Amino acid sequence: MLVISDPTTAMRGPREAQRGRLAGLTTVVTGGSRGIGLGIADAFAREGAAVGVVATRAETLESASMQIAAHGQKVHTVVLDVSDRDACFAAAVSIAEALGPIDVLVNNAATYIPKRFLDYEIEDVRRTMEVNLYGALHLTQATAPGMLDRGYGRIINVASTAGKWASFNQCAYNMSKHGLVGMTRCTALEWAGSGVTVNAICPGLVDTELVDQLFRDQAALRGVSEDEIRAGIMARVPSRRLTPVEQIGHLAVYLASPESAHMTGQSLSVDDGMLFV
């Protein structure tokens, strides 16, 4: 499903920002109305970028667009299910028409269906792959040709530490994130030297509603209390703290900027040291 906001209503904040590390760039963030995606979109606007925000719910897009536009940048929102390939291509056209040619794509949209492996229905796995992996494929194929033609582009795939290791009771999610890391490496290799870079950010436990839900889901699946699950999982984090959303945004700004021209094909963990233990 695709619902495009009227380009004439693309929001502009009270002041036009004149400076920023991303000034003059058009960016797109999927899953950009809350959590990590909103944090990235907000960081992009702070650094002078125009921002296309894609999400599945119109109500969260409205509040997100107001927050982002407050930084003085143009915002264009699209209600989109990224598993719909044709709608993804239409969304890319809509954003480019409203904001200008797309320079930066952040594939952040994701779904999470926690189950024991033997309890998965094929539809659970299919839906997870369609959103988390195929959605990124659709939008990358929709936007990368223009980037390659212009000789500049940044594609940032929000994977996860789940794309680097094994986890209990979420095999479908880990499969999709491993696939996203693989796609990052392969596209980076194909486009090396073109001016288009592709990198992945692999967050650990970020302070979002999704992580709170993860604790509840894992507690239910294991038949223990949420406090017990939280304590056990946090014991694997050397710092014993959740990562603030803003930390992901800071890294995304660097990867989206000209400063990262010689970094491609990387999968960068922001996990407070989880992968060390």
On the CB side of 13, CA atoms within 13 Å amount to 22
CA distances for 173 relative to 130, 161, 169, 180, angstroms: 11, 11, 9, 11
- 276 CB contacts (<8 Å, ≥6 apart)? 238
**Rounded Cα gap, residues 142 and 146, in angstroms:** 8
Instruction: At 34, list the tokens.
Output: 């809350």
Please work out, in degrees rounded to the nearest 5, the angle formed at the alpha carbon of residue 64 by the alpha carbons of 7 and 133: 85
Backbone torsions φ then ψ of 192, nearest 5 degrees: -60, 135
Q: Which of 120, 134, 152, 173 is catalytic?
A: 173
Element (H, E) at 27: strand 26-30
154 three-state secondary structure: strand
Range list of H helices, the chain: 35-46, 58-69, 85-99, 122-129, 135-150, 171-190, 209-222, 226-234, 245-256
The reply to whether 152 belongs to the active site is no
**Residue type at 236?**
R
For the beta sheet containing 153-158, the strands, ordered from the edge strand earlier in sequence to the opposite edge, are: 2-4, 75-80, 50-55, 26-30, 104-107, 153-158, 196-203, 267-270
Active site residues: 173
